[in-house]
Amino acid sequence: SKGYCVGGKRFVPVDLLDVAGLVEGASEGKGLGNQFLSDLTSADALIHIVDISGETDAEGKETKGYNPINDVKMLENELDFWYLGILSKVWKTFAKTVQTAKKEFAQSIATQFSGLKVKEEDVKQVVLKLGYNSEKPAEWTEEQLKNFAHELRHISKPMIIAANKIDMSSSQENLRKLKEAYPELIIIPCSADSELALREAHNAGLINYVPGENKFEIIGKVNDKQKTALENIQKNVLDIYGSTG
């Protein structure tokens, strides 16, 4: 695909891979864990779709009052354990080799993690941020290794949280709590239903709408029900968040 242009703006295509569902314990091979993590190795970045309304539980079942922070916490932990597991398997031998053979730490780690698209510059940035002694990795504690795995994962597999169903009544408060709990994460308020409705209305010639914009223009004949629905999208989503996400 070469993308497309709307109103002078070019939309550039990317390859999206919808991976197998993740369950707690995936890093230990539970559920489809091994398949899920295998699918992630070639990814440049991750998008974690969360039902910010709290109307879907950890198993994907409809509910009320579920805390979406639980989903983010679970995924963050599993991805950290994934990186930590890969590191731990080779760490003792690797750390000893780096020290005795005086090998360059960042280059050695990048080589070890090449399949995960970890770059030498990523490693250098993590070491600089944490202030660890990369010349003596054999002296690192378990806690230091865990912190290193966490930071390396964040920089080499950057993740966006897509906080979907932002148009629901409970969503604003849940979004506030999630941002408070994870200030370091990029969290994008989204409304897939609103985006779908706007695109369908645009394709039907009822409105002029450029995906990602914070407004639209009614150009066709809409009935009262359609007008109310469109006004609600403008008021409850676009005016508050600047786009459908």
Average pLDDT of every residue of the chain: 89
Q: What is the residue-wise DSSP string for the chain?
A: ---EEETTEEE-------PPPP-TTGGGT-TTHHHHHHHHTT-S-EEEEEETTS-B-TTS-B-SS--THHHHHHHHHHHHHHHHHHHHHHHHHHHHHHHHTT--HHHHHHHHTGGGT--HHHHHHHHHHHT--TT-GGG--HHHHHHHHHHHHHHHS-EEEEEE-TTSTTHHHHHHHHHHH-TTSEEEE--HHHHHHHHHHHHTTSEE--TT-S--EE-S---HHHHHHHHHHIIIIIHHHSS--
pLDDT for 243: 96
Say if residue 145's pLDDT is above 80. Answer: yes
Compute the average pLDDT of residues 10-36: 72
**Higher local confidence (pLDDT), 219 or 98:** 219
pLDDT for 152: 94
> Above pLDDT 70, what percent of the chain?
93
Bridge partners for 10 per DSSP: 5
How far is 135 from 99, CA to CA, in rounded Å? 6
pLDDT for 56: 87
Task: For residue range 163-218, list pLDDT tens digits in order.
Answer: 999 999 899 999 999 999 999 899 999 999 999 999 999 999 999 999 999 999 99
Burial of 128 (0-12, 13-18, 19+ CB in 10 A): exposed
Q: Is this structure's pTM higher than 0.95?
A: no
Asked if 198 and 190 count as a contact pair (C-beta separation under 8 A), the reply is no
pLDDT for 93: 87
pLDDT band at 31 (very low <50, low <70, confident <90, very high): low
Say if residue 38's pLDDT is above 80. Answer: no
pLDDT for 1: 61
pLDDT for 108: 86
Task: For residue range 73-119, list pLDDT tens digits in order.
Answer: 998 998 898 889 888 888 888 888 888 877 788 988 888 778 888 89
